[in-house]
Amino acid sequence: MSYKDSYFHAVFWRQFKANPLAVAGGALVVILFAVSLLAPFIARHSPDTINAWHVLAPPSWEHWFGTDELGRDVFSRVVYGARISLKVGFVAVGIAVVIGTAVGLVSGYYNGLTDGALMRIVDIMLCFPAFFLILAVITFLEPSIWYIMLVIGLTGWMGVARLVRAETMSIREMDYIMASRCIGCSDGRIILRHILPNVLSPVLVSATLGVAGAILTESALSFLGIGVQPPTPSWGNILTSGKDYIEFAWWLSFFPGLSILVTVLAYNLLGEGIRDALDPKVEKR
């Protein structure tokens, strides 16, 4: 690691740690990861175990978040649901980032006809409301978590593409890119070795914020009954089962809803903090 890179990392971490909201968001994300990874050890009961003697039981020492209409422990289902939500968020955003980065690099570097054709595709995709497009596609497919991740990723890459394109168009005019061309570097080498590393910072911010959006989308789809299918626990389908009993079993809707709120807020705070720490216009303290 060069001195320049070491200095950049030191400034970044100093700026990031100076933002208490960003630190809080990062801490919450770490806790969510730990909960999802250690779900078998944290959950006090099996998420699928039915107990007819404890149907719609309120929160207690035995069942911290109460039980649902089948007597299943809500706390265990929320904990295992974190795995589903985080998996959907990361895989879907990973697909979107890979596609968007590739399209943005090619479009921004080659410009001209290539840029025009790719950007028209992006414009066409942006014309469709993303959520309704996902609904339409999922309706024709068998409900599956893998289809959900794939569809969310394939309908969410346009923003990344436009961001990477703008950064690439700026970087390609710099002197070191011109020097690379003069010494005979191929376009592929210039894109992968010189441009790609310099566009990763804004992509990281976009990806962090995108995870929150993907989790919200998955929860909405599961709530509508076309996402993750029971008995697999998902925050969305736990909410679905709770809506029929909300008048006297508030815990069925409150705890999964709170989990979605905290998770989305954590990723948004983390993304905003990373963006501010990477922004050269922000005063470095």
**pLDDT in the model for residue 3:** 42
Q: Quick one: tokens of 87?
A: 């998996």
252 to 30, 36, 229, 242: CA distances (angstroms): 25, 20, 17, 5
User: Residue 236 has what pLDDT?
Assistant: 85
DSSP H or E segment with residue 26: helix 20-37
Residue 56: count other Cβ atoms within 10 Å of its Cβ.
15
Neighbours of 226 (CB within 10 A): 18
How do residues 93-110 score in pLDDT, each as one tens digit? 999 999 999 999 999 888
**Per-residue pLDDT reduced to its tens digit, 251-274:** 888 999 999 999 999 999 988 888
Class of domain 3-47+60-278: mainly alpha
Give the per-residue pLDDT at 27: 92
Amino acid in the structure at residue 9: H
All structural domains of the chain with their residue ranges:
3-47+60-278
Backbone torsions φ then ψ of 95, nearest 5 degrees = -65, -45
pLDDT of residue 5: 52
pLDDT top residue among 263 and 188? 263
Q: Are 138 and 221 in contact (CB under 8 A)?
A: yes
Summarize pLDDT for 48-87 with one digit per residue, the tens: 888 888 888 888 888 888 888 888 889 999 999 888 888 8
Which region among 38-52, 125-139, 192-206, 227-241 has the lowest average model confidence (pLDDT)? 125-139
How many angstroms separate the Cα of 55 from the Cα of each of 44, 46, 69?
17, 15, 5
